[in-house]
Structure 1
Amino acid sequence: MAEQFDVIVVGTGWNGLIGAKTYLDFAPTAKLVLLDEQSSIGGVWSKEKIYPNLYAQIKYGQFEYSFYPMRKEGITSDGYISGETINRYLSDFASDYDLVRRTRFRTKVVRVERLGEGAGWRLEIEGQPAIECAKLIYASGATSHPVIPSYANSGFQAPVMHSSETGMHLEALEKIQTATVVGAAKSAYDTVFLLLKAGKKVNWVIRQEGSGPLALMPPTILGLFNTMDAVATRMVGLLGSSIMNKQGRLHRFLHQTLVGQTVTKTFWATLNLIADTHAGYSLSANANKLRPLPYGNGIFWANAGLGAASVPDFWKVFHAGDCTVHRTEIESLGEDNVVKLRDGSSFATDYIVLCTGFDKSYHPFAGDLQRSLGLAPDPSEQAKWGAMEAEAAAEVDSALPAIQQPPLPRPHHDEKGKTGPAHGPSRHYRRLVVPSLVAQGDRSIYFPGFIHSIYTPLVSESQALWGVTFLLGLQDHDLPSQAEMESEVATWTVWSRKRYMVQGRKHAYAIYDFLSYVDTLLRDLGVDMTGKRNLLQELLQPVYPRDYRGLVDEYRRVQLLEQLRRLGGAAAGAGEGR
């Protein structure tokens, strides 16, 4: 018989750790286990994945749980946090909250099966006996299953690795002279910087037909404000065309009036000019190839994603280094370690680093289960979702005219050459739960961490409170009907692909929208953590996780008041009946 648990948490990154801790807050005697296929705590920030010169694109004070301050060490002069500091923080958190002894490392989940309606889950483990649970927190995250492209190979012998393995190849990379970096995500920028800083020659290959290079913000705005502080204000969220923030006079002014729309466009054009000037795209042909799409407004659209030049002197090192940018694709790999490109050029290399990103890490779920859980599109429901999305498009266009007509055409293929249905956020209500299961009364699973946001800790903490109270049936209100939840999913899907174009077609993307997402989750729970400042402060001051300190206690207080209200109402009703 399989070993039994009350709850299994898959993953020990930001989402898995806070999910486990929050579950134990409400059910301290639960038999809980965390599983991770790596050998240490941290997910993408685990010990084996970090390396020198790796910095989060987030400011100190913003990359922590609300109740657990981070040590001030390993911080750049601009306030950005080193990978070593983040790894230490997560390891300390797991230790302080007694999660290490509950964790099974080097434990790879190869298959997840539903035991039956409301009966729980069975997880098959590579090389180990299967285990089962009543509740499952599937927190493997959006960056745990690397995309590895394949190329025609005729005698190529140089090492080829994914960027997620960089930390394990440092010694070998120190000994090489030339390297090839493939891709244009934030990991590619980090890898190029690491190599150039070490004096290596780099060939950087970015395909022409894709989403283009990452939109990269400067670490500070004109040396006056930390860029991530600016992004963490509700004002930028309002200016950013969020579907979760479309109420009130200020929204109507900014998005529904000519003057407001002019103000909004001017703000983003100015921010884009600052970013372009800092990067120095016009200084060389190489740099110009890194200009994000669409030209002139790449910062707003974040078509290929949004990042920050968090490492010190990124652009200075790039402009001074021996780096050639190729806007094409690898055609084949040949003898003498020659890389042949589709545009006809070629060069020899000592190493290839694939910064080709990650795909959805739902592979342990069989195809039919992926479809029933909203993890993959179901062809039989294409007409249903098409109709709902057409209705949602009208709502999005009316509320947010700035994104009604995205400036770039929809690509004909994704990274794997597959067409449309593979794209898009998973069909989960609030990006967390499966509408059809909720409608059945099944509260046995939720999926945290599959929303892309720079401000991971605060988002993960909010998701954990929403998700755990959902699992335990503690939410005082009834969730919407299945039709209403699916309507919310359709609206998000339409908005996401309009707002963030390529990224929004592939992921649940919420870069400028993380605060409105957090507000939405907490509003569902009846919790309001925004009333501590006046209106001007609320709009213009950056929000930090510490502003949400006491979140669980506030939820319990609200829950207790609701219970007392109901008891009072019941008592009054009984009195009237006498």
Structure 2
Amino acid sequence: MESVDVTIIGAGWSGLAALKTYHQVHPDASIVLYDSAASVGGVWAKHRLYAGLKSNNMLGTYEFSDFPMDKSFGVQPGEHIPGHIIQTYMERFLEHFHLTPFVHLNTQVLTAENNSDTTWTLTTRSNDTSRTIHTRKLIVCTGITSTPYLPVFGGQDTFHCPLFHTHDLPKHQSTLFHPPNRITVFGGTKSAWDAVYAAATAGAHVDWVIRENGHGPVWMAPAHVTPLGKWLEKLVTTRLLTWFSPCIWGDADGCSTIRTLLHNTRLGRKLVDAFWSILADDVIKLNKYDSHPETAKLKPWISPFWIASGLSILNYPTDIFALITAGNVTVHIARIARLSLGTVHLSSGTDLPSNALIAATGWQATPTIQFHTAHSLGFPWSQDPIHQDIIHRADKEILSRFPRLRTPPPRSTPFAPLAPGAPATAKHPMRLSRFMVPPALSESKSLVFLGLTMTINTTMIAQAQALWATAYLSDELVLTPRERCPEDLRVKYGSDGSDMDLVWETALHSQFGVHRYRGGFGKRNPDFVFDAVPYVDLLLRDLGLGWTRKGALKWLVPYGVEDYRGLVEEWLQTDRVTSLKDGKKDV
């Protein structure tokens, strides 16, 4: 049996950050990174790229701080980054830091068994060959967009046309997207917008179906918003503006007094509501939703206050709304009732002749790896590892701290999950401390999950999580909760030896998303936008590092990946990192 010090699963942003960081801290450790795809990149792997695919981020905000995307990549300031450039960047990142030999592609990790000595035994499959790997530490970076969710439609066996998830769009784009084909796209997410744009600009007519009992169309903002024309990606990382987002870990930014005034006083809450109203009205006016009956159907149904990473960016080279007003795209607010030969039948009674049905129906958040462990990992479709009494108390605490969350957004139609087993049917949010560590396994320091947060600051968080995970797995970080468990809960449920402060804090942080992001995925996984910088602050505080990163204007200027350049070297020089300096750390 092959034995290694560390195994990383997944070659997306988080996996690459984890590989580079762990190797930098432990240059002599044996490390392997497995990915089932034939190329690195995760969502940007070669097999997932299609013509016209670009990032929501513009140049400078979608890269690692220690490897800037320079002019050799051919992207200009103010441009969104083409998908193939992102994939190339990731390959060159590995080459630059001499990490390519650690990466093993076309290798799927099937099972992970937690041994009594806290190590892990993995089974892998590559080219129909199975192997067993023994690893001391396990870093899972498969994220939440690896396994597509495709529901079963009534009558789909009689449809006799391509029916596929947006994940598989690259396989069909060249054969389907041309006149006079009619393409039906189902869903209101950013991937649905992308599919609609790709099909319509290629000359196909698109029928865009958004179900009336779902979350509705995603918020699509221009790259620059507010009357001041602020760059949206920078807006969400400006500390002054993050204060307007109620956040359970928000006081990690050192501004608890200001946050209390904004979210625990009537005047403060009025200011918060005004901020979100200005942001919403600005986007609605810029997109001219109300100027045409068809574009009016795409106006979001709830305030951006409630949607988290559902806030997306218009990154198309031409105006997608012009395709709609010109009749190239027809929007239908209805459910798909059933399918028949070449036809999609809607609940509204409309029948759509279709040459293909593309489903933008989300992703399964739980890794496909089969975990065998005596302890709960806190996955959303498993039994909740935290007692319901603790959850109910956490709910009361959250609503007490943030009264604005007591009033959910109004809806004209009640929300319903797409189907049994759909992503929205999760039993509970992921129960992970710092959104990375199962509390039941916190003492073993052998397992972390990275990349489960949904934000628009992917690389900033990937870097911070990678360093935090490396320190934690190296036993150079004590996971110290900032929240203290109520004494009666400690007495009642602490008899099994659990760190009740850790359990309580995990309940608060994970349950917070249920109330805060009702229009997003808060019921399933960490999903936030304006709370990314305070989250990084939280991780840096754990690491004993300075979190403000800037001078006197730290509250007024946006943060970017460049502000965290040299973070690993900075941490290695701290007084807390003792055994690594002495060369005594057993990796």
Could you state the TM-score of these two structures normalised by the residue count of structure 2? 0.88
- Separation of aligned partners in 1, 2:362 and 2:186: 10
For residue 232 of structure 2, what is the aligned residue in structure 1?
A: 227
Once the two structures are superposed, residues 263-285 of structure 1 have per-residue CA deviations (whole angstroms, 9 ceiling, x without a partner) of 22111111100111122221223
**For residues 578 and 479 of structure 2, what CA distance do their matches in structure 1 show?**
14
What is the match of residue 60 of structure 1? 59
Quote the offset at 1:12 in angstroms. 0.4
The 2-side partners of 1:446 and 1:402 are apart by: 33
Q: What's the secondary structure of 2:15's corresponding residue?
A: helix
Which of 157, 162, 179 is 1:159 aligned to? 162
Aligned to 1:395: 397
Partner of 1:114: 114
Task: Give the match's secondary structure for 2:156.
Answer: strand
Which is worse superposed, 23-32 or 307-316?
307-316
Residue 128 of structure 1 deviates from its aligned partner by 2.0
Q: Aligned letter for 1:386?
A: Q
Q: What corresponds to 1:94 in structure 2?
A: 94
Letter in 1 for 2:518: M
Q: Deviations over 1:469-508 (max 9, x none)?
A: 1112122x35456211111111112210111114211221
Is 1:13–1:45's contact at 8 Å kept on the other side of the alignment?
yes
Aligned pairs for 1:102-501 within 5 A: 102-125=102-125, 127-132=128-133, 133-151=135-153, 152-175=155-178, 177-221=181-225, 222=227, 224-246=229-251, 247-294=255-302, 298-302=303-307, 305-312=310-317, 313-335=319-341, 337-366=342-371, 369=373, 372-376=376-380, 378-379=382-383, 385-408=387-410, 413-418=416-421, 422-438=426-442, 441-475=443-477, 477=478, 479-480=480-481, 482-501=499-518
Q: Name the aligned partner's letter for residue 332 of structure 2.
A: H
CA distance in 2, matches of 1:280, 1:370: 55
Counterpart in the other structure of 1:574: none
Distance 1:443 1:391, change over 3 A: same
Give me the whole-angstrom Cα distance separating, in 2, the residues matched to 1:361 and 1:414. 17
CA separation of 1:239/1:370 partners in 2, compared to 1, >3 Å: closer, same or farther? farther
| Deviation, structure 1 residue 519 | 0.6
Structure 2 residue matching 1:67: 3-state secondary structure: coil
CA contact 1:293–1:303 (8 Å) conserved in 2: no
2-side partners of 1:500 and 1:470: how far apart? Answer: 29
Change (3 A) 1:465 1:284: same
Mapped to 1, the partners of 2:131 and 2:397 lie a distance apart of 46
Asked if 1 retains the 8 angstrom alpha-carbon contact of 2:417 and 2:425, the reply is no
| Partner Cα distance (1:380, 1:101) in 2 | 39
**Alignment partners' CA distance in 2, 1:482 and 1:408:** 39
* Deviation, structure 1 residue 563: 8.0
Task: Answer 1 or 2: which has greater helix percent.
Answer: 1
Q: Give the whole-Å Cα distance in 2 for the aligned partners of 1:386 and 1:560.
A: 37
Q: C-alpha offsets along residues 367-387 of structure 1, whole Å, 9 cap, x if unaligned?
A: x74971112465475xx5321
In the TM superposition, residue 452 of structure 1 has moved relative to its aligned partner by: 0.7
Deviation at 1:531, TM superposition (A): 4.2
8 Å CA contact 2:186–2:359 kept in 1: the answer is yes
Residue identity in the other structure for 1:155: T
Are the aligned partners of 2:429 and 2:514 in contact in 1 as well (CA < 8 Å)? no
- The verdict on how the C-alpha distance between 1:153 and 1:470 changes in structure 2, with shifts beyond 3 A counting, is same
CA spacing shift, 1:380–1:245, aligned 2, 3 Å = closer
Whether the aligned pair in 1 keeps the contact of 2:111 and 2:370 (CA below 8 Å) is yes
Quick check: 1:54–1:311 contact (8 Å CA) kept in 2? no
Q: Distance in 1 between matches of 2:308 and 2:64?
A: 29
Q: CA deviation at 1:75?
A: 4.4
Partner deviation per Cα, 1:162-216 (whole Å, 9 max, x = no partner) = 1112223332134452211111111111111111222220011111111211122
Task: In structure 1, list runs of 5 or more residues that go unmatched.
Answer: 565-578
Would the alpha carbon gap of residues 321 and 371 (structure 1) be closer, same or farther in structure 2, given more than 3 Å must change? farther
RMSD of aligned Cα (Å): 2.6
1-structure distance, mates of 2:309, 2:398: 22
Structure 1 residues 390 and 193: CA distance shift in structure 2, 3 A: same
Question: TM-score scaled by structure 1?
Answer: 0.89
Look up the equivalent residue of 1:545 and give its one-letter code. Answer: V
Q: Is the 8 A contact 1:218 1:278 kept in 2?
A: yes
Q: Which amino acid aligns with 1:6?
A: D
Q: Secondary structure of 2:573's partner? A: helix
Gaps of 5+ in 2: 482-497, 581-587
Distance 1:303 1:206 in 2: 20
- Residues 382-410 of structure 1 deviation map (CA, whole Å, 9 limit, x = unaligned): xx532112222232223222222222479
Aligned match of 2:527: 509
What is the SS of the residue equivalent to 2:161?
A: coil
Change (3 A) 1:200 1:175: closer
Shift of 1:96: 1.6
8 Å Cα contact 1:62-1:455 kept in structure 2: yes
Amino acid aligned to 1:137:
I
